[in-house]
Amino acid sequence: MKNLFKTLPLSQEILDNLVTLNFDSMTPIQEQALPLILEGQDLIAQAKTGSGKTAAFGLGILNKLEIENNTLQSLILCPTHELALQVAEEIRRLARFTKNCKVLVICGGSSEYKQLASLEHGAHIIVGTPGRVLKFLNKGAIDLKTINFLVLDEADRMLDMGFQIEMEAIFKFAPKNIQTLLFSATFPQEILELSHSIQRNPKHLTVDSKHEKNIIRQVFIELNEHREKLDALIKLLGHYKPQSVIIFCKTKQLCADVSKALAREGMPALSFHGDLDQNERTVVLTKFSNQSCLILVATDVAARGLDIKDLEAVVNFDLPTDAEVYTHRIGRTARAGKEGLAFSFFVRSEKEKIHDIENYQGNRNEYLKLSELSSTARYDLTAPMKTMYINGGKRDKIRAGDLLGALVNVAGLAGEQVGQITILESQSYVALKRDVFSAAIRSLLDGKIKGRKFKVGEA
């Protein structure tokens, strides 16, 4: 098969690690982009979030990395703090067999002092947001003279968020003869102008720009008035019982109201909106992604750049303003070739928006009457995991293996009872099976992690 990773000129350590990660065949964007990246080509690629583009550029960067050269060799710019963290984590996974690979996240919302201190120890790869990266460049804390890769991830979102001036200023610090990779879900004129200003004869790719109707089942439910939406949502969740679902609302106030209403109905839900501080955002996303909570209620602005694996369903509590935003919302389900569900509520006055979506996607929509849903079924699913908080992180030299070792050796857990481990600068989060959570907390309160006592509790 031509789409196997082993057919590419990747280093043996990278190929060996891909085997441990169960990465065998490439996604369409990887199959098209990786050979070009490995050849040293500049690239402008249209691909939706979740298509595997992080591995595409990540493997290209790692394959060219000179570990013994302790200088900055790659800069990856992302629109949001959350996406930067996800990209950095994915690259660290891909680099597990590449010893001493240093990946730093340089973003707003985190301590400048700690980031500056980390930079003093050097980094091979920086993943950051334009504002904080430019600030450190102006301070002289980051030097781009030695980089050979510049990646713009979700470039259209960075333009939407007003980062054009910052990006143009960053480009002036970078050498002219580097390889540049530009990934964008859409290709507005501004993206093409951006490409023209920084790239040399880039190859153009378009992959998965729209969602195949046989992968995402899209269902529209007409209501008489907006006030019926909450009851309709409760009925919908009870009927389909999605194992994980993001519900999109148009305002942060509505987002908070919907999550509280669901909680009153016995459906624990987390809200994710612009009023949350960075620590709250981290906890919410960690608990949702590690299956400690099954329902996330979010606004579009807050959810930009989110890449949640194994998301079963998306619900548009409010229809977005245009078909492109709708397409990006529902694209968060049906990742890696899996099927997904997308439900949308609308009232009669919004039928024009529905027609726009049909025209944009080129397919006919499926419609469902509220009366076709069960009136007695309840959403009675319980999250299989709970999240443990530990007040120690990277600054304490804690690694995932240290936490797993403590949970197995001190708390007596089996490896399969431990889920996702997230280690931040000064705190860590571990997903544990619900039935062993309390016993694990008690054990670690009395025991030690890496020979030291840490405060532990429920996140």
Q: Give phi and psi for 270, each to the nearest 5.
A: -105, 140
Cβ atoms < 10 Å from Cβ of 351: 12
Tokens at 71, concatenated:
């200088």
The secondary structure of 389-435, three-state, reads EECCCHHHCCCHHHHHHHHHHCCCCCHHHEEEEEECCCCEEEEEEHH
> Could you give the C-alpha distances from 165 to 75, 129, 138, 179, in angstroms and in order?
17, 13, 14, 21
Strand partners for 431: 387
Percent of the chain with pLDDT over 70: 95
* Residue 35: predicted pLDDT: 94
Cβ atoms of 419 and 385 closer than 8 Å: yes
Mean pLDDT for the stretch of residues 167-186:
91
* Residue 218: predicted pLDDT: 93
* Residue 49: predicted pLDDT: 65
Tokens at 26, concatenated:
């490439």
Mean pLDDT for the stretch of residues 66-87:
91
Mean pLDDT for the stretch of residues 49-69:
89
pTM: 0.64
Check residues 77 and 110 and name the one with the higher pLDDT.
77
CA–CA separation, 447 and 424 (whole Å): 21
Closest CA to 317 of 233, 379, 253, 399: 233
What confidence tier does 213 reach under pLDDT thresholds 50, 70, 90? Answer: very low
Cβ atoms of 388 and 433 closer than 8 Å: no
* Average pLDDT in the chain: 88
Tokens at 357, concatenated:
């979506």
Q: Give phi and psi for 107, each to the nearest 5.
A: -140, 160
- The domains of the chain, with CATH numbers, are 5-206 (3.40.50.300), 216-372 (3.40.50.300), 385-458 (3.30.70.330)
Q: Per residue in 251-293, pLDDT tens?
A: 989 999 999 999 999 999 999 987 888 788 888 989 998 999 9
Q: Per residue in 15-31, pLDDT tens?
A: 988 887 778 788 888 99
* Residue 335: predicted pLDDT: 64
Amino acid letter, residue 32: Q
CA–CA separation, 127 and 243 (whole Å): 31
Q: Which residue has the tokens 């070739």?
A: 337
User: Taking the CA of residue 203 as centre, how many other CA atoms within 13 Å lie in the half-sphere pointing to its CB?
Assistant: 15
* Residue 186: predicted pLDDT: 76
Q: Which residue has the tokens 């076709």?
A: 372
Radius of gyration for the alpha carbons in the chain, expressed in angstroms and rounded: 23
The enclosing H or E element of 336 equals none
Q: In the chain, what is the straight-line distance between the N-terminal and C-terminal CA atoms, in Å?
A: 45
- Ramachandran category for residue 145: left, alpha or beta (phi over 0 → left; psi -120 to 50 → alpha): alpha
Amino acid letter, residue 76: I
Q: Per residue in 295-350, pLDDT tens?
A: 999 987 666 656 677 789 999 999 988 887 888 788 778 765 578 899 999 999 99
* Cross-sheet strand order for the sheet of 366-368: 270-272, 295-298, 245-248, 313-316, 340-347, 216-223, 366-368
Q: Per residue in 392-447, pLDDT tens?
A: 988 888 888 889 889 998 889 988 899 888 888 889 999 999 999 999 999 998 88
* Residue 305: predicted pLDDT: 57
CA–CA separation, 292 and 383 (whole Å): 5
Q: Give phi and psi for 112, each to the nearest 5.
A: -65, -40
User: Is the confidence at residue 158, as pLDDT, over 50?
Assistant: yes
Q: Which residue has the tokens 């293996």?
A: 401
Q: Is 356 exposed, middle or buried (0-12, 13-18, 19+ CB in 10 A)?
A: middle
Mean pLDDT for the stretch of residues 2-11:
86
**DSSP letter (8 states) at residue 185:** S
